[in-house]
């Protein structure tokens, strides 16, 4: 075989390999991006949980709004968390359990299964993954968006637990 033809074959094979690798990376990036967003969201939730815990220890009550329901707004107003940290990576505020009580946060001897914090229904990751904080632990669940929307309405009114 002539050296010139051999060189051309090697170049063509390298080009094909490069194209295949690039295509594989392009199609894999969205799933990696979603995983990274979900991880970043969990980190933000962790910061909110730590702020709720610190606030409750310091003030003797969970952060509450003017109606007496648990709320994230006092944490933001007191600069315990940045407004951007009280939101999912999709840009919507987390939803706190309006019935959250001091015992849910501080009674670590008796772990409770009370849900503290969840996603807004428009912030579901990849359309089906919701992050929850139950008993101070971050959990990821695959949910049906329609059922989740109904559950979230009841949860945000304090009528239903997960």
CA atoms of 68 and 155, how far apart (whole Å) = 16
Q: % helix / strand / coil in the chain, to the nearest 5?
A: 55, 15, 35
Q: Number of helices (H) and strands (E), helices first, in the chain?
A: 4, 4
The total number of structural domains that make up the chain: 1
pLDDT of residue 61: 93
Q: 65 in a domain, yes or no?
A: yes
In this prediction, residues 114-121 reach a mean pLDDT of: 77
Token readout for 7 is 């060189």
Q: 12 in a domain, yes or no?
A: no
Q: 78 in a domain, yes or no?
A: yes
Phi, psi dihedral angles at 141 (to 5 degrees): -125, 145
- Express each pLDDT in 94-117 by its tens digit: 888 888 888 888 876 655 667 888
% pLDDT > 90, the chain: 10
Phi, psi dihedral angles at 158 (to 5 degrees): 80, 20
Print the domain residue range for 100: 29-156
Q: 3 in a domain, yes or no?
A: no
pLDDT of residue 113: 62
With a cut of 60, say whether residue 26 has pLDDT above it. no
Q: 2 in a domain, yes or no?
A: no
Q: 9 in a domain, yes or no?
A: no
CA atoms of 156 and 28, how far apart (whole Å) = 36
Residue 110 exposed, middle or buried by CB count within 10 Å (0-12, 13-18, 19+): exposed
Q: What is the pTM of this model?
A: 0.72
Q: 21 in a domain, yes or no?
A: no
- Per DSSP, helices labelled H in the chain are 3-59, 73-77, 102-106, 145-156
């Amino acid at each position: 075989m002539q050296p010139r033809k051999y060189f051309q074959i090697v170049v063509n094979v390298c080009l094909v390999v490069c194209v295949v690798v690039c295509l594989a990376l392009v199609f894999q990036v969205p799933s990696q991006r979603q995983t990274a967003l979900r991880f970043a969201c969990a980190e933000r939730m962790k910061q909110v949980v730590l702020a709720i815990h610190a606030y409750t220890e310091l003030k003797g009550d969970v952060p509450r709004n003017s109606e007496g329901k648990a709320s994230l707004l006092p944490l933001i107003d007191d600069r315990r968390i940045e407004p951007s940290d009280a939101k999912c990576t999709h840009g919507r505020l987390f939803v706190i359990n309006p019935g959250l009580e001091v015992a849910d946060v501080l009674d670590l001897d008796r772990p409770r299964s009370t849900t503290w914090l969840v996603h807004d229904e428009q912030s579901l990751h990849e359309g089906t993954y919701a992050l929850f904080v139950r008993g101070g632990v971050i959990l990821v669940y695959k949910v049906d968006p329609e059922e989740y929307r109904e559950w979230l309405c009841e949860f945000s009114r304090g009528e239903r637990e997960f």
